[in-house]
Amino acid sequence: MKCVYVICEKNKIFTSSKNKCKTLYVGESKKFEERKKVYEKDCEVDNELKYKLYSYLVVKKKYKEFEKFFLENIEFRIIQSFNFNNDAYRKEVEGYIINRLNPLLNKTKRDSVFGRNFKKFEKDNIKFYDYEEFCNDIFAEWYWNRADIGGTTRIYNRKRRQWYNRNEPYGEEAMNINYDKKYKSWFDKNKLFKKFDAWRTNYDEWEKNLKY
């Protein structure tokens, strides 16, 4: 079953008073029956829901309350649609539900602004590789306009372990090696691999949080 699912508490134990739906977690799946079995395991190590909850409580220093959590206190709510055959749209609706319900254990997509109209989504759908190209473009513009690089005629090529003039092939290779390393560090530091939806739906917020 392809669906978006919501996991709620029956009795409020961990969710706050602001969380009216007592929502613990929102997810999406191509095979919900198999996913549900994972959440119903007794073992804390193999049970993804229990692991997420325990990790959250450890951070909040409330891990002793973990003993109050039982499988009998959770319920699953399922959202289905023919349009969920489109994997990207299913994730879109997942993000919309996350933003609406603000579940306790979801940590991503909260800077995003999602819609639900499938026709509009299909028309405006942007792929992840478009996002990667955009990130590379704006980083390149910043990087190559820096005043603190390129001030020498020679550069060290880490791959070949020698110094070369910048205008010769191995010098250009060295500059590209340095660029790629810096770009990867910048991409990871900003956790941009988690922020595709924020960039796509809420660009101003995405750009405001960038650090160079």
CB environment 168-184: b (16+ within 10 A), e (fewer): eeebebbbebbbeeeee
Q: Which tokens belong to 93?
A: 């609706």
User: Using 50, 70 and 90 to split pLDDT, how confident is the model at 83?
Assistant: very high
Closest CA to 175 of 136, 138, 140: 140
Q: What is the pLDDT of residue 54?
A: 84
pLDDT surpasses 70 at 138? yes
Q: What is the pLDDT of residue 72?
A: 82
For the residues 102-109, what does the mean pLDDT come to? 85
Q: Which tokens belong to 45?
A: 């190590």
Q: Which pTM was predicted? A: 0.74
16-30, 33-47, 170-184: segment of lowest average pLDDT: 33-47
For the residues 197-204, what does the mean pLDDT come to? 90
Assess contact for 12 and 21: CB atoms under 8 A: no
Q: How far apart are CA 181 and CA 188, in angstroms?
A: 11
**Model pLDDT for residues 117-137, shown as the tens digit of each residue:** 898 888 888 889 999 999 999
The per-residue pLDDT of the chain, averaged, comes to: 89
Q: How far apart are CA 85 and CA 74, in angstroms?
A: 27
Q: What is the CA radius of gyration of the chain?
A: 23
pLDDT surpasses 80 at 5? yes
Closest CA to 29 of 96, 91, 117: 91
Q: How far apart are CA 114 and CA 120, in angstroms?
A: 11
For the residues 182-189, what does the mean pLDDT come to? 97
**Model pLDDT for residues 33-50, shown as the tens digit of each residue:** 999 988 887 765 678 888
Q: What is the pLDDT of residue 109?
A: 65
